[in-house]
Amino acid sequence: MAAWRTLGILVVLLAVTRPVAAQPYPLVETVEAGESFRIRLAMKLAGEMQVLKEDKKEQIHLEATAGHEFPERILTLGSDTLPQKSARHYETAHARITVGKNSSEKSLRPERCLIVAQRYKDQLLCWCPEGSLTRSELEVCSEHFDTLAVTGVLPGKAAIGETWKLPNSVAQALCSYEGLIEQSLTGKLESVTGDVAFLAVTGTASGIDLGALTKSSVTASCKFDLKTHRLTELEWKQKDEREQGPASPATVIETTWKLQRDFLDEMPKELSDYALTKVPEGLEPPPAAAMQLVQRDPKDRYQLTHGREWQIVGQTEEHLIMRLMESGDFVAQVVISPWTHAEAGKHLSADEFKEAMNATPGWDPQEVLDEGERQLEKGYWVYRMSALGQMDGLKVVQSFYLVAGPKGDQAVLAFTLKQALAEKLGTRDLKLVDGIELSGESPK
């Protein structure tokens, strides 16, 4: 009997001294369509860009700052309950970029401050219901920290010290990749003070952006209000090592984003149902016209409307160089050049144009594949010559277009690609030619 009593006491003692399970905290934000938030973003970037100059690698210092402030209305949720489509009205949207000794600034025109952001086929699309954006406007509103995915860092619930892995879709969005290769981003509940939970995110990821392999390391922290169940603050530090790609140089950069996020009790009038009458409901892709970009010549000699797949890789007062990128692959390059102004009603003849193009430095034409002329609806005369040959020792197809307006204004578009990619290019060279508008004025 004594033995049984002793055993009973031991069982009681074990029950009393058994470790108490750590308290789990609810770390989830239930966002609903129609809710609005005020977003404040600040960014700092520093790093180096590597370029080839006279067959030598040269390091160029990079710096950038950006600031954004806007109310954001959630329009549609995805299957993962994360916001998949929102409307924003930018009150502040600017970026300043310094490359070496050269600085430039980007901002949104007042008439383009209403922006729809939506995730479509794993890609973030930003567009304006009021009209086409310029490339720099697109960059300033689509390349900041992805507020649609920010609540994806939350695990649902966790105890202090507990960790969890971020979903792949969230890692891809927050690291700003076009495609994700792998990631090990891990969240952790660090501590709780009063009604505030302090979370951390650390780890590495690799992915593809503009056809270039990018490896990233992330250190982030955020605050979650346990009383209101809202993620209120986040600081995201990311170091990227990007290899040289077909539309971007090799870079090593460190970026810090600071986000403040406040729930709004009232819908801002700039995001009311009336203000969003031009925005389609649901998750349908944006209207084709809204996805077009507008590029103006520095001397105002032409304006080009083009698809987003054309990336600008160089621009001077005399040339605009663009590359067609498709799913990270380089397809073709085009060089757009204003040509000598002619008398009203006149332009280069077909023979004069062919002679000028065949004299292009480094170009050795070997076989004419196609040539001919056509008229565009806006009264432009277009002559096209396509030939197979060698450009600086490489076998390529070059298609030259002369676009001439009725007032004597002229421009040349020269497309270069490998012959095997001609089918992939399709008619997108013709669409780009159709998108040019000449000023009709003589250069001063």
Backbone angles phi, psi at 63, to 5 degrees: -145, 150
Can you say whether the dihedral through the CA atoms of 236, 242, 245, 248 is positive or negative? Answer: positive
Q: What pLDDT, on a 0 to 100 scale, did the predictor assign at position 3? A: 45
pLDDT score for 418: 94
State how far the Cα of 329 lies from the Cα of 211, in Å rounded to an integer. 6
**According to the model, what pLDDT value does residue 67 have?**
98
Integer Cα distance of 326 and 131 in angstroms? 24
Q: What share of the chain is helix, strand, coil (3-state, %, to 5)?
A: 15, 55, 30
Q: Which helix (H) or strand (E) holds 393?
A: none
Please tell me the total number of residues recorded for the chain in this structure: 444
Q: What is the pLDDT, as a whole number, of residue 441?
A: 58
pLDDT for the residue numbered 248: 86
pLDDT value, residue 440? 65
What's the pLDDT at 21? 58
**440 Rama class: left (phi>0) / alpha (psi -120 to 50) / beta:** left
Residues of the chain short of pLDDT 50, as ranges, are 1-17, 19-20, 442-444
**pTM (2 decimals)?**
0.88
* Burial of 103: CB neighbours in 10 Å, binned 0-12, 13-18, 19+: exposed
CA distance 378 to 376: 5
Backbone angles phi, psi at 375, to 5 degrees: -110, 135
Chain-centroid distance of CA 128 in Å reads 15
Q: What is the predicted pLDDT for the residue at 236?
A: 98
Which residues have CB under 8 Å from 376's CB, separation 6+? 382, 403, 434
Full set of structural domains in the chain with CATH? 25-271 (2.30.230), 292-438 (3.40.1000.10)
C-alpha torsion sign, points 422, 428, 431, 435: negative
Residue 50 CA neighbour count, 13 Å, CB half: 12
Supply 265's token pair.
């009790």
Instruction: Extract the tokens encoding 383.
Output: 């002559």
| 343 membership: H or E segment, kind and range | none
CA distance 422 to 324: 12
